[in-house]
Copies of this chain bind each other. A is one copy, B any other.
């Protein structure tokens, strides 16, 4: 298998690119630059101009918001396969978030200017980008609703129920990152996160290191009120 064939196959697995006709995918694959990085690496800083679209193939990446006083929070954690940050890359606007690797990652970088040209020339790629942008927009709508409508304990409950669903066991899950990061992702402090875990004990939640068991998922759902509209 040539290097280009391999990149072609990998990009074909990216949901945003899956429906693209072969010639368009091939043009993207020719641009894709592989990158392997350890945990804790900064991919870009908030305020920088985007030079590449990042396609995450392995590992987790945190998109971080940095306040004017240097305080940092986690806006979103991305898992493979996904890409980021399309909105900045396609409109050539400064990143509103920094990106840092949370574990060793494997990425493809696609040149931003080339991607913008391709999007203007290839309606199917433009439609694929619209679908992907819409998905990320909707993730943030859910998060804003989560932050404004739910208590910290309810947010944690919804998060655990969704993780259990993703991991395929309704009664048991593994936290994908440490509690400090989890607190930031849920918009709270580590102290309040501990209190939220304590509150959820009444609803059957037990933790042991990174393993969480959900003794009574239905009761937890009744307390946490997860979204009724399933994720697309």
Report which A residues bind B (CB closer than 8 A): 46-47, 65, 67-69, 71, 73-75, 86-88, 90-91, 93-94, 96-97, 119-123, 126-127, 129-131, 133-138, 140-145, 147-150, 184, 187, 225-229, 232
Q: Would B141 and A97 count as touching, CB distance under 8 A?
A: yes
- New contact pairs (7) apart from A67-B145, A126-B126, CB-CB < 8 Å: A65-B144, A67-B149, A75-B144, A129-B130, A130-B130, A137-B137, A143-B144
Q: Cβ of A130: which chain B residues have Cβ within 8 Å of it?
A: 90-91, 119, 126, 129-130, 133
- A73 and B134 contacting across the interface, CB-CB below 8 Å: no
Among A119, A134, A187, A232, which residue has the most Cβ atoms of chain B within 10 A?
A: A134
Distance from A133 Cβ to chain B, minimum over Cβ atoms (Å) = 4
Determine if A69 and B225 form an interchain contact, defined as CB atoms under 8 angstroms apart: yes
The answer to whether B75 and A228 have CB atoms under 8 Å apart is no
Contact B75 A145 (CB under 8 A): yes
Q: Are B75 and A148 in contact (CB under 8 A)?
A: yes
CA–CA, A148 and B65, complex, Å? 9
A34 to B145: give the CA distance in the assembly, Å. Answer: 30
Q: Are A94 and B229 in contact (CB under 8 A)?
A: yes
B123 touches A187 (CB 8 A): no
Would you call B148 and A184 a contact (CB within 8 A)? yes
Q: Is the CB of A141 within 8 A of B140?
A: yes
Query: How close is A76's CB to chain B, nearest CB, in angstroms?
Result: 8
A227 vs B67: C-alpha distance when bound (angstroms):
8
A to B CB contacts below 8 Å, 19 in the list? A65-B149, A68-B227, A73-B148, A75-B148, A88-B134, A88-B138, A90-B134, A93-B134, A96-B141, A97-B141, A126-B126, A126-B127, A133-B133, A137-B137, A137-B140, A143-B144, A147-B147, A147-B148, A148-B184
